[in-house]
Amino acid sequence: MSRRYFGTDGVRGLVGRPPLEPLFVTRLGRAAAGVLKAAPGRSPRVLLGRDTRASGDLFAAALSAGLAAGGAMVLDLGVVPTPALALLVRLLGADAGFVVSASHNPYDHNGIKCLGPGGTKLDDERELAIERRLSRPGPMATAAAVGRIRAEELLIERYLDHLRNCLPPDFSLSGWHLAVDTAHGASYALVPAFLRSLGARVTALGDRPDGCNINDGCGVLHPQAVREAVRTSGADLGVTFDGDGDRVHFVTAAGTVVDGDAILYLLATDASERGALGPGPVVGTVMSNLGLEEALTGRGIRFLRSAVGDRYVLEALLREGGTLGGENSGHVLLLEDSPSGDGLLVALRLLEILHRRGRSLDDLLSDLRRYPQRLVNVPLPPLSREELVPVLGDLERRLHDGAQGRVLLRLSGTEPLVRVMVEGRTAEWVETTAERARAILSELSSSPPGASPT
């Protein structure tokens, strides 16, 4: 069965347009409750959270109603980072978790992220089972079988206690000045407060959500905001998150943006030097810079690439026995400590390395040589997915030049876009090829249906 609603990260869309409408979300909750497994005589217990989008309350209420109508017990954590809810699913032994969020997308988008037992992404089998039940979600639970909805915002303390236990007992951020951008998102209150509790001086930005400003000119997609804050405040380091807190980037005092590839390099090399990396590979994606692969393999660290998406990174790690992986977007998995990418956990790990080694981030990354790379987003041409896939494959082959570099074209799993990645030996070839790809795809968008790119 092909997927109709679920993408690489749950269900996404524009608010008020199918499928992101309250009736559909209620039906989704009811179908999910029917698929979830629980012990005989016990209702499925699920955790629910959301980010700060204006539509979050509406869809959280609709999803709660559907889950309860299907007989599930709903523990509502309120506004909470996705990784916090994922960890709590594991710690509490819940049957599932749902987060109303569109992550790094603008406020007029929203979505439902679905987590299974253990806090990892819901597997393909259960996502397809939910899709099958959407047209016939089954009878509503009656009388005492109707699920309850209970506010449980204080459960977040269990997550914070876990983070403290992941750090050395004597760890302190006393003396550190951090510029922290939480993208007006789910981490806006939690992250600055937690870092201050560890002794840091925090200059906070992106910490005044109004329902419409999430990810707007701030967060990981716009690191210039925290870079400017580092410059003007004299901070030692900038830390910037996305709207639901599972991605993180850094900005050094020198103004260098440190993305997921650089973070993965630092975490992997530090763990390898301490003999703590384990036998499995470090997992990146097809988007990971070739320089990262060369730097790690040059140090004897095995590197494996997966398809784009943290669910595929996770699958590769579990299959190969690895514990560290991630994407250049800043979504980094530390499986020994969390079932999902966690921006705050990754930030703490990096700060602990800097504290322990007494060196600057620029200095620790000086051995990482990156190939020029350009990422371009192009609006989706008016073709079906079945029509687009071979067209993109043909264009990718035509633009690719093994001597000069590589080209990757893929359909976004969260937005109506074609993602174009060009990487090469020279910046000139990369820029020229990226603009060629953009021009051809833009021409295709304005051409009659069925036309081929020229």
Q: Report how far residue 27's alpha carbon sits from residue 15's, in angstroms, rounded to the nearest whole number.
A: 16
Q: Report how far residue 251's alpha carbon sits from residue 256's, in angstroms, rounded to the nearest whole number.
A: 5
101 is catalytic: no
Catalytic residue among 103, 187, 306, 340: 103
| Nearest C-alpha neighbor of 447 from the set 379, 380, 378, 381 | 381
C-beta of residue 247 within 8 angstroms of C-beta of residue 329: yes
The string of DSSP letters for 336-366 reads: TT-SS--HHHHHHHHHHHHHHHT--HHHHTT
Q: Report how far residue 209's alpha carbon sits from residue 51's, in angstroms, rounded to the nearest whole number.
A: 10
Check residue 145 and report its DSSP letter.
G
Q: Report how far residue 25's alpha carbon sits from residue 59's, in angstroms, rounded to the nearest whole number.
A: 7
* Residue bearing tokens 């990892």: 120
Q: Report how far residue 423's alpha carbon sits from residue 429's, in angstroms, rounded to the nearest whole number.
A: 9
Residue 170, amino acid: D
Q: Where are any strands of DSSP class E within 206-352?
A: 237-241, 248-252, 257-258, 282-285, 303-306, 324-326, 332-334
Rounded alpha-carbon distances, angstroms, from residue 290 to 50, 88, 221, 371: 36, 36, 22, 7
Q: Report how far residue 247's alpha carbon sits from residue 259's, in angstroms, rounded to the nearest whole number.
A: 10
The SS3 call for residue 134 is helix
Q: Report how far residue 387's alpha carbon sits from residue 46's, in angstroms, rounded to the nearest whole number.
A: 39
* Residue bearing tokens 């523990």: 75
Which residues have a catalytic role annotated? 103
